[in-house]
């Protein structure tokens, strides 16, 4: 499993960095489970702060993927109703500036709650990403909290909207994490793993 290292935390437009490495942005509504998914991908419990209070992430966090050398970029959660109007405006500007201006940004990984019908803010962000000519990688979260039929229906909805089938994940059950890592590597332009590594990982899965 790759290792994630938090390298940069950005709070303001003036702090935005020009990083000459491939990047994939992670975005989603508050309480979509973004921090939990980052921790699950890293195989750690406390790398990204998980809070019972939605909207905890108020910065852009750059996680370097090692040894592959690209970045997963955790964007502020949106749609947090209890934040002030000024705070929401600041987060929106920071998010939009990064998505439209990062030269090495390869794609937007859009996190979507498996339990919810397509939400207005998610649709607006996907439209904005397309305007920025970004590839969209839809990811359904919290798959363990609904039935297989519900997950399939939600996946079909988003496939029809975005033109690409979403990956189905559960942070608590570790569902879909290997497939997600593979898609992230491909999107970042990282060479696929060698046959030997693939065989070793398959053997680890069988022993788990």
pLDDT value at position 15? 79
pLDDT value at position 197? 47
HEC-encoded secondary structure of the chain: CCEEEEEEEECCHHHCCCCCCCEEEEEEECCCCHHHHHHHHHCCCCCCCCCCCCCCCCCEEEEEEECCCEEEEECCCECCCCCCHHHHHHHHHHHHHHHHHCCCEEEEEEEEECCCCCCHHHHHHHHHHHHCCCEEEEEEECHHHCCHHHHHHHHHHHHHHHCCCCEECECCCCECHHHHHHHHHHHHCCCCCCHHHHHHHHHHHHHC
CATH number of the domain bearing residue 155: 3.40.50.300
- C-alpha to C-alpha distances, 41 to 88, 138, 206, nearest whole angstrom: 28, 16, 19
Give the C-alpha separation, 76 to 110, whole Å. Answer: 12
pTM of the model: 0.85
pLDDT value at position 76? 85
**Angle 37-42-46 from CA coordinates, rounded to 5°:** 75
121: containing domain = 3-207
Evaluate whether 26 touches 38 at the Cβ level (below 8 Å): yes
Q: Supply 102's token pair.
A: 């990062």
The total number of structural domains that make up the chain: 1
Give the C-alpha separation, 184 to 20, whole Å. Answer: 18
pLDDT value at position 196? 45
- C-alpha to C-alpha distances, 80 to 88, 95, 165, 169, nearest whole angstrom: 8, 14, 27, 23
Evaluate whether 114 touches 154 at the Cβ level (below 8 Å): yes
Counting as low any pLDDT under 70, the low residues of the chain are 50-57, 80-84, 88, 191-208
């Amino acid at each position: 499993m790759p290792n994630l290292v938090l390298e940069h935390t950005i709070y303001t437009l003036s702090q935005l960095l020009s990083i000459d490495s491939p990047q994939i942005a992670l975005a989603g509504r508050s309480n979509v489970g973004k921090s939990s998914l980052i921790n699950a991908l890293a195989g750690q419990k406390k790398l990204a702060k998980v809070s019972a209070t939605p909207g905890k992430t108020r910065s852009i966090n750059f996680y370097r993927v090692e040894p592959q050398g690209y970045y997963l970029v955790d964007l502020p959660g949106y749609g947090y109703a209890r934040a002030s109007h000024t705070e929401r405006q600041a987060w929106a500007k920071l998010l939009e500036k990064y998505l439209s201006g990062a030269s090495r940004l390869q794609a937007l990984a859009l996190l979507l709650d498996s339990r919810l019908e397509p939400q207005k803010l998610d649709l607006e962000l996907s439209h904005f990403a397309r305007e920025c000519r970004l590839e969209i990688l839809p990811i359904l979260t919290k798959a363990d909290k609904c039935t297989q039929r519900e997950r399939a229906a939600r996946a079909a909805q988003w496939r029809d909207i975005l033109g690409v089938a979403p990956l189905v994940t559960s942070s608590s059950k570790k569902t879909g994490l290997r497939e997600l890592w593979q898609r992230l590597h491909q999107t970042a332009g990282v060479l696929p793993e060698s046959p030997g590594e693939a065989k070793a990982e398959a053997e680890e899965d069988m022993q788990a």
